[in-house]
Amino acid sequence: MNVKNAMEILVDEALRNYWGQLQLPCKCEICKADVFAITLNNLPPRYVSNEDGYAYVKAQNFDDQSRVNILNQIVKATGIVATRPSHDLKPSSSQE
């Protein structure tokens, strides 16, 4: 059985579009994955079993309010990752 959470695709698209604008002390793949996971955990899942189902979910989430909801959750997740990254941050410059 091949079932996918369509929100993964929508959040991935939004992250790719706005990643450069998000204020994070680290923009590594670990932090990006953390933002992605936290965002998905705070949005209702929309499971689909085929491309028609994905197209339906995408159409439902194409309105401004749905996009705002996704972006709002991305911003909240960014704040969490910024204050509590799941790895040690390397200093950007040595001041010793």
pLDDT, residue 96, reads 34
pTM: 0.82
Assess contact for 67 and 13: CB atoms under 8 A: no
Whats the size of the chain, residue-wise?
A: 96
Beta carbons within 8 Å of 55's beta carbon, 6+ residues apart: none
| Neighbouring C-alpha atoms within 13 Å toward the C-beta of 76 | 13
DSSP state of 48: E
pLDDT at 93: 39
- pLDDT means per 10 residues, the chain with 96 residues, are 87 94 92 97 90 73 82 97 88 42
The residue type of 72 is N
Residue 58 confidence (pLDDT) = 72
